[in-house]
Amino acid sequence: MTVLIFSLFMTIILVFSYKPVATYLFINDNADDIYEVIHLKASGENFMKWNNTGIYRDFACTNGSIHIPEKFKPKAKNKIWTVYSYQKKLTVAIHSSSELSILSIFKYQDAKKLIELNPDLAKLKTEFQFPTGKLVEYDINSTRNKWIITAVNGNKIDRDFYKCPLISGNLNY
């Protein structure tokens, strides 16, 4: 399905394959093993049935858990969010449970506004509010032929997986 790649400079590239795979956060840190990178896994043991299309710029969500390597130490934590900092250049906010996991990335260090805007776990099951004001809506239990993201800022998107371009938009900040 998709692999989500983030560089230290926040460039996002979507890479498509014919087989479903986990969604990965690659940071320029010389990791050479899957367990050295943050990655999202959909629910179920059979990865061929996963729908890991819950990706948007600086955001990913799934109906499974997130693997966080031991080298990442929490900067802040509450009952919903854990915030990590990478080399004082990147902030990664994560909610991880067996039923819903969300990963969001920021250029700045303060994730306080993110936590303030997304305090309700029930709402997080269907929507995420960016500190910049953008609202992303999703259905984490979408069938494999539909994108998990359903709307951005209230504008519904075409969720037909096979109609979407492989790569579109500005890939650099």
Q: Spell out the domain ranges in the chain.
A: 2-111
pLDDT along the chain (173 residues), means of 10: 34 37 57 73 70 81 88 88 81 90 79 87 95 92 86 91 64 51
Q: What is the pLDDT of residue 107?
A: 72
Q: What is the pLDDT of residue 4?
A: 38
Sheet of 127-129: strand order equals: 127-129, 135-138, 149-152, 155-156
Q: What is the pLDDT of residue 95?
A: 94
pLDDT of residue 165: 60
Q: CA–CA separation, 114 vs 128, rounded Å?
A: 9
Q: Of the candidates 98, 94, 105, 99, which has an alpha carbon nearest to the alpha carbon of residue 126?
A: 99
**In this predicted structure, what is the pLDDT of residue 3?**
35
Q: Which residues contact 148 (CB under 8 A, 6 or more apart)?
A: 51, 53, 54, 55, 61, 62, 138, 139, 140, 142
Contacts 24+ apart (CB under 8 A), 141-146: 141/63, 142/51, 142/53, 143/51, 144/1, 144/20, 144/49, 144/50, 144/51, 146/51, 146/53
| pLDDT value, residue 161 | 73
Q: Are strands 59-62 and 66-67 parallel, antiparallel or unpaired?
A: unpaired
Q: How far apart are the first and last CA of the chain?
A: 25
Tell me the backbone φ, ψ of residue 125, rounded to 5 degrees: -70, -15
State how far the Cα of 49 lies from the Cα of 79, in Å rounded to an integer.
30
